[in-house]
Structure formats: structure tokens, C-alpha cells
Chain A
Amino acid sequence: MPDALLGTLAAAAPATTAILLAAMGGLINRQGGIVNIGLEPLMLVGAFMAVVVSAQSGNPFLGLLAAVVAGGLLGLLFSWSITRLGANEIVAGLGLNLLVLGFFGYLLPVAFKIEGTLLPAGLVGLPKVNIPLLGQIPGLGPIVSGHDIVTYLSWLSVPLVSVFLYRTPLGIQLRATGANEEAARAAGVATLRLRDFSTVVAGAFSGLAGAQLSLGVVTLFNKQMTGGRGFIALAAFYFGDARPAMTALGAVIFGVFEAAGFRLGSSGIPSQLVQMLPYLVVVISLTLVAVRRDSRVRQRARAALASVAAAKVG
């Protein structure tokens, strides 16, 4: 393999982490029946809490914990507005985007006296962890080793989410809730609580994703730092039809796009066109899924008609 590609992949690994984690959270939420377009603000809250707590305590792992808790709590409030107070998830999600962005835009200059970047004294980023043996493989080593701990966690989250959704009673109940809430409730599933749980998980995952951006990729906070990754994560789990393996693949593809985007920019391919790709991929893959479903329905209708006709003749 050419070195340029290996280099891009090594850079793509940490660039994928936040997208992958938020996508896994959004996927669980989607399986529970809620389309969460608030992943972006949930990430931003995580990124902020991670920086503040890490700077205060000098311990980046406490920062991660704070980000998870903050993301989960905001996720719970968001979920209540949908499950208990009947809010439309899309409008509430757009509102959350505006509210959180506005909140940080207000908070940074007023409370921290800064316009752009928050870089508190004593802020400690996440250490890089080398994996023994694996890290020494030439070419492959820098791709699989030498990242922050959240990146490894994000890889681990894919099989864990898969096992949770398909092999545990709670996961199966969650999927049942998402597929048909009334039927699930009739079968004795606590659907509202499960949907809230799935949003809390989405919030916690997104919070952790944000913390990886503000303590892993860089060591600072500003209100633009999520840069649309929450929406790319949305694109990833739509691309993957809310299934863990395909969603992870989507997140990796989009992460590679992002890492490659910087390099392509200097090679003459417009960065706007590279950035556009995830969004276009979602529209195209949703269309392909729908066309296939549609033709299957038509085939079945044709078959049913044929059998009715045959029965009449018979």
C-alpha cells in the first residue's frame, strides 16, 4: 500500500472517533424510535464539560466522566420533552441546536471574557496509548495504535452495541419499542422509560464524542469545534440503516473523507465537494433503500393479483 494512503488512514482513525461514537448513540436512539438531530449540541456540551473539568481537576479522565454525565443529563431532558410532553423530535432537535449554540456563544464572552477559544490554565489532554506488538507492525501500526483511549473505546462500542441490541433482553425490548410502540406496550414493555434510556445513551455517547474532540484531537474548546460531526453521525446511521456494522462502516468512510479532505484541498479537488459527500451519500442510500422496498411491495402485489386470478380460473 502506498504511504500516502496509510498516512491518511492513520490520520483518519482519531478523526473518525467522534463521528463513530455519536453515530452509535444516535443508532441506539433510532432503534428506540427517536430520530435524534440533537447529537451536535450534545457533543458540544460534552466537549465543554470535558475541558472545564479537566482544567479544574488536572485529570482528563474526570473530564471524560463529566462529559458523559452532562451529555446523558441533557439527553434525558431532551427525551422528556419528546416522550412525556409530546414535542416533535425534529423541531425540538433543531431548537436544541440553536439553544446550545446560542448558550455557548453567550457564555464564552460574558463569563470567560473570550471571543473564540477557551484554553483554561492547567488543561490536560488525553494521553496517547500505544498497544504493544500491534503498534510495531510496519505500516499498519500507526493506524491501530498510538491513539487516545476514547478512540479504542469507540471501536469497542461497535460490537458492544451490537450485542446489546440483538442479544440482551433490554436491547430486544428497545428494538420492539422502536418498531411498534403500542404493541410493545401491550406486551408489557415500559416503552417510555426505554425511549428515555435510549436518548440518555445517545447523550452520553455524544458527550464522550465531544470530549474526544476537545481533549483528544485538540486540547481546547470553541463553539465551532464539533463542525457538523453530529450531522455526519446522523448521516452515518442513516447510511447504515441503524445497524451497528454498517453504521460503523459509514462513520469510517466519512472519517476518511474528512481526513482526506485536508490533503485533497491542496491537490486541487475543492474541499466543498469533499465535504458534501456524506450528505449526498445519505440522500442516495436512503433513495436506494426506498426504491428496493417499493419494488418488493409491487412484486408482492403482482404476485397476489396473479394468485387471485389463478384461484378464480381454478
Chain B
Amino acid sequence: MSQVTAEAGIPVAGQETVVATQELRLLRPFQLAGPFLIALLVGAIVLLASGRDALGTYWLLVQQSLGGTTQIANTLVAATPVLLTGLATAVAFRSGIFNVGVEGSLYVGAFTAAWAGFTLTQLPGPLLIVTAVALAGLMGAVWALIPAILRAQWRVDEVVTTLMLNYVAILLTSWLVNYFFLAPDIANSMSPLVAHQARLGPLLPSSQLTVAFIVALLITVLYAFLFKRASIGYELRMTGLNPRFARAVGINLARAIIVAFLISGLLGGIAGGFQILGVNYRFIDHFSPGYGFTGIAVALLGRGHPIGIVLSALFFGALSSGGAMIQLFSDIPLDLVNILQGTVMIFAVIELSRLPFVRRWVRRA
């Protein structure tokens, strides 16, 4: 299946495989901005149909996510995990690996970081933080190694295995925290707090904006470098674009698959680790609102391009931080954000050029 999706150029290969005909060049801005605009339109329809002021709500959303230092800081905090899971997803997608299991790596990484944070308490702050994040990334990668080996060795469809392993990871960490690492002072579902020196300090007073966001941006630069300059990046890209060609020019497909999975899992694990050390300070059963799945939307909306991924992570960060505030100030539920996100995902993979009215519009232009 992954081969089919890679050949269809789904997620991101588009920019490389699309032949720049006149028609497609006309369509390109629409294809890039389309999912975003359609999602806002769908959201507006839902708001209007339920008797709410759509423009007013969107304006409030903008104000509450970008209208001041605190609001911007909150947006960046919310963008951090989905930037990392977006990069994790994009690495896999560009290599032709349909890894939808970043959520699982995130859970495993988050649990590992929390464990390090409340266990290795004798370590000094910086060392403990680096150790916790490194272990989180390592365990995230190890988790991704399961579907990687199954795919590389026996061609087991990774879509299904990664999807299923997400639930295994969520239930496994839930079991660990509830049966072995329960906080003594709390009834259920939470691990003890990580040591004080393991918590990331705020960059701005009274915000949770930490060095995690800066690191996520640096990882974005590494991601760009990987696919632009590094030879392993070239091998991954070729594997994604055309596996048969890649094999013919001597690329070791099994190795490329495993490397792509490992990087993807590593980033997913780091995303989970930072969320614990920077925001939650403890592992909470079922804590993620789907950061791994939002990462898929981020990677798709950003078309795999580093700048695109940062922009879409900021967009989803703004939606969730602004949406949370709107839920406080008005009677509009945060679920509006899920509606927008689901619409973005569906329309990011729909080929808008196949819609009849778009076709007519292109022919006229």
C-alpha cells in the first residue's frame, strides 16, 4: 500500500513530481491555500448554522491567539508539539513510509521523560533535562522500530501496524502509570511530578514558552538540511518517490525504511518528552489530544516543505490556544477546532483540480 501512496505522490512528493503545465501553475496557489480556506468556510457554515457570529468568532480567535505577547506565547507553546509531530510525519511520508504511528511514539517518549524526571532526581538540571529528552527520543525510535522491521523484513503494511500500535502505546502507558507509577497523593491516572530541576524554565514570565520551541525550530532546519543536502536524505527521498528506481540505483530500501522510521519515532518521542518537561511536569494517562494525528494534518497542509510545516504548526497552535480561550469566554466549544482540523486533512489530500467547478474555472482562465 505504501508503494501505491508514494507513487500517487500523496503527501509531499507533489512539488517534485508535478509537471509545471500552465493549468497546474494556475492551480498551485489554490491547491496550497485551498484546504485552509475550505476549512475556515466549513467552520463558518457550522457557526452560522448554529446561530453564532462566524466573523466575530474568527476575529476573537485571532485576538486570543495573536493579539498580545501572552497570546502569542501560548500559540507558540501549542505549536511546539505539533511542529515536532508534523516533522516526524513528514520525514516518513517523504520517504514513502505511511507512518500514522507518531502518536504512539509520543506516548512512549512522554512516559520515558516523566520516568526519568521523577527517578533520576540526583542529576543536576541541564544533565537531567538532556538525559530525559534523549531517552524520550530513544524510546520513541525503539517503538517505531517495531513496524519498521515488520515493513522492511516482511513487507507488513505499516498503515495498519502503526495505527494499531498507537492504541497499544496508549494502553501500555496507561497500565504502567496506573499499576506501577501512580503519584502517592493522587487517586488515579497520574505519575509523580518530575523533579524541579527537570522542568524547562519559561522564556517569558508567566508563560509556558520554553526552549522546547527553539529546539523544534532547530530540528526544522535539520529536517530541511536532511532532504536538501544530506546523502541519506537523498536516499530517503528517492525511496519515497520511486522505490523501484531507488533499488535500481543501488539504494538499500530496507535500510532507508528503517532510518525513516527511526527518525520519525525519534521526533515523536522528543515531542512527548518536551510536553512533559515543559508543560505537564508529569505523565497523565491519555494526556494527548491527538498531537500525533494533528502532526499528519500539519505535514500535509505544509506539503512537506519546512517553512510550510512551521506555518501550519503555527496555524494549528493558534487554533488550539485561541480555541481554548474562546471556550472560556463564550459558549463555543473547543470542538470547533477538530472540525477545522478534520476538514483540513480531508481537503489536503483531495485533488482540488478534479472538482468540476475548479476545472471549469481553469479552462476559462
Contact = CB atoms under 8 A, between A and B. Distances in A.
Contact of A99 (B160, B164, B338): B338
B10 A91 contact: yes
A266 interface: no
Contacts of A86: 8, 349-351, 354
Which one of A95, A99, A106, A270 has the highest number of Cβ atoms from chain B below 10 Å of its Cβ? A95
B46 interface: yes
Given A35-B1, A279-B167, A98 B342 contact: yes
Interface stretch (A117-125, A190-198, A249-257, A282-290): A282-290
A87 B168 contact: no
A95 to B, nearest CB: 3
A290 B154 contact: yes
Residue of A91, A92, A279, A287 with highest tally of chain B CB at under 10 A: A91
A280 B168 contact: yes
A290 B155 contact: yes
A294 interface: yes
Contacts of B161: 282-283, 286
Contact of A272 (B46, B175, B350): B175
B350 A228 contact: no
A170 B161 CA distance: 31
Given A106-B339, A290-B150, A81 B346 contact: yes
Nearest to B10: A88
Nearest to A84: B354
Interface string A218-249: 00000000001001001100100000000000
Q: Which of B10, B154, B175, B293 has the most CB of A within 10 A?
A: B154
A287 to B, nearest CB: 5
Interface string B314-337: 000000000000000001111111
A262 interface: no
Contact of B342 (A100, A111, A282): A100
A7 interface: no
Contact of A98 (B157, B164, B179, B341): B341
Nearest to B334: A105
B248 interface: no
Contact of B350 (A81, A103, A286, A294): A81
Contacts of A238: 160
Contacts of B337: 102
Contacts of A313: none
Contact of B171 (A81, A276, A291): A276
Interface residues of A, number: 48
B146 to A, nearest CB: 8
A276 to B, nearest CB: 5
A251 B50 CA distance: 39
Given A106-B46, A282-B164, A98 B350 contact: no
A271 B90 CA distance: 34
A88 B347 CA distance: 10
Given A85-B351, A270-B175, A294 B154 contact: yes
Contacts of B343: 95, 99
Contact of B355 (A85, A97, A105, A291): A85
Given A270-B178, A279-B165, A105 B354 contact: no
A303 to B, nearest CB: 20
B154 A272 contact: no
B300 interface: yes
Contact of B164 (A103, A279, A290, A293): A279
A102 B164 contact: no
Nearest to B164: A279
A85 B354 contact: yes
A184 interface: no
Nearest to B147: A283
A311 interface: no
B62 interface: no
A102 B1 contact: no
A47 interface: no
Contacts of A97: 342
A90 interface: yes
A92 B164 CA distance: 17
Contacts of B167: 228, 231, 275-276, 279
Contacts of A107: 50
B215 interface: no
Given A96-B342, A98-B338, A98-B341, A90 B172 contact: no
Nearest to B150: A287
Q: Which of A102, A273, A290 has the most chain B CB atoms inside 10 A of its CB?
A: A102
Given A86-B350, A273-B175, A105 B333 contact: yes
Contacts of B338: 98-99, 101-102, 105
B296 A94 contact: yes
B267 interface: no
A231 B296 CA distance: 18
A35 B5 CA distance: 13
B341 A102 contact: yes
Contacts of A275: 167, 171
A94 B165 contact: no
A304 to B, nearest CB: 20
A235 to B, nearest CB: 7
Nearest to B46: A106
Contacts of A282: 160-161, 164
A204 interface: no
A109 interface: yes
B98 interface: yes
Interface in B144-175: 146, 150, 154-157, 159-161, 163-165, 167-168, 171-172, 174-175
Q: Give me the 10 closest cross-chain CB pairs, A-B, nearest first.
A: A102-B338, A99-B342, A105-B335, A95-B345, A98-B342, A95-B346, A272-B175, A102-B339, A290-B154, A86-B351
15 contacts: A37-B163, A87-B350, A91-B345, A92-B349, A92-B350, A98-B341, A102-B341, A105-B338, A106-B333, A106-B339, A109-B331, A228-B167, A280-B164, A283-B146, A287-B154
Given A88-B5, A231-B167, 12 more contacts: A85-B354, A87-B346, A91-B349, A92-B345, A95-B342, A99-B343, A103-B339, A105-B334, A270-B175, A282-B164, A286-B156, A291-B154
